[in-house]
Amino acid sequence: MIQFNNLNQEAPYVLFKKKYDDALNLGQISIEAISISSYNKEISEVDSRYVNLKFITNDEFIFFSNYNSPKASSFNSFNQIAALVYWPVINVQIRIKAKIKKTSNEYNQKYFFDRSEEKNALAISSNQSKPINSYSEVKANYNKSLKNDDLKKCPEFWGGYSFVPYYFEFWEGHESRINKREIFDKIDGVWKQSFLQP
């Protein structure tokens, strides 16, 4: 689930929360899964992956990752991302465009301290997305970390990312394909609402 803290009361955030609550009440699984697409200028490639969105605090969407991962390289190279959630129980997808940045060391440490030791052992032991000889080695590294590492101290190579949207599209599917597409575009600090044809 996503934790909402002091949610921004501007229209797109309120609508996002309403759709979230509708999906949650109908039992949507993996409701926190959000696809993040990024561009890496160094290698001229676009890539996408799902992450777990942990918090929406005011207007910031926050998830956590390894700072040495391929997605981190993309964010460092080009700080604009696209994000997408799809909740099939209500047949709604929400498209977002945003700028992304790291959260502070203090924020990361506080979050890491409160996590389970099992999750922290994996964060410490994994060189995320780097090649390894076998899955057995992944498990061995994890078990070694679980026994030997300080599992309450957040490593420097791990932490949060926050992104603040400047564009939302709320897509609502219909059997007749007369899909509703409601847009919120932040222009000169003001949200402009409009609609797109299906």
What is the CATH number for 160?
2.30.110.10
Instruction: Please indicate, yes or no, if residue 79 is contained in any of the structural domains.
Output: yes
Would you say residue 123 lies in a domain?
no
Judge whether residue 89 has pLDDT over 90. yes
Residue 197 has pLDDT above 90, yes or no: yes
Establish if 24 belongs to a structural domain: yes
Sign of torsion, CA 187 48 20 58?
negative
Range of the domain at 169: 3-113+156-196
In our burial notation (b when 16+ CB lie closer than 10 A, e otherwise), range 185-194 reads ebeeeebeee
In a domain, residue 126? The reply is: no
The answer to whether residue 121 scores a pLDDT higher than 90 is yes
Nearest of 25, 8, 27 to residue 16 by alpha carbon: 8
Q: Which H or E element spans position 163? A: strand 158-172
Assess if residue 179 is contained within a domain. yes
> To the nearest whole percent, how much of the chain has pLDDT over 90?
95
**In the predicted model, what is the mean pLDDT of the chain?**
96
Phi, psi angles (nearest 5°) of residue 24: -60, -45
CA separation, residue 12 to residues 72, 111, 189 (Å): 27, 27, 14
pLDDT digits (tens, 9 = 90+) for 165-177: 999 999 999 988 9
Question: What does the pLDDT read at residue 148?
Answer: 85
Residue 118 lies in a domain: no
pLDDT score of 27 = 98
pLDDT of residue 157: 96
> Across residues 73-91, what is the average pLDDT?
97
**Model pTM score:** 0.93
**pLDDT confidence of residue 69:** 95
- Over residues 137-144, the mean pLDDT reads 93
Q: How many domains does the chain have?
A: 1
The answer to whether 82 touches 71, Cβ cutoff 8 Å, is no
Quick: pLDDT tens for 142-194: 999 989 889 999 999 999 999 999 999 999 999 889 999 999 999 999 999 99
pLDDT of residue 186: 97
Asked if residue 13 belongs to a domain, the reply is yes
Apex CA 19: angle with CA 187 and CA 100, to 5°?
Answer: 45
pLDDT for position 49: 97
pLDDT at 117 over 90: yes
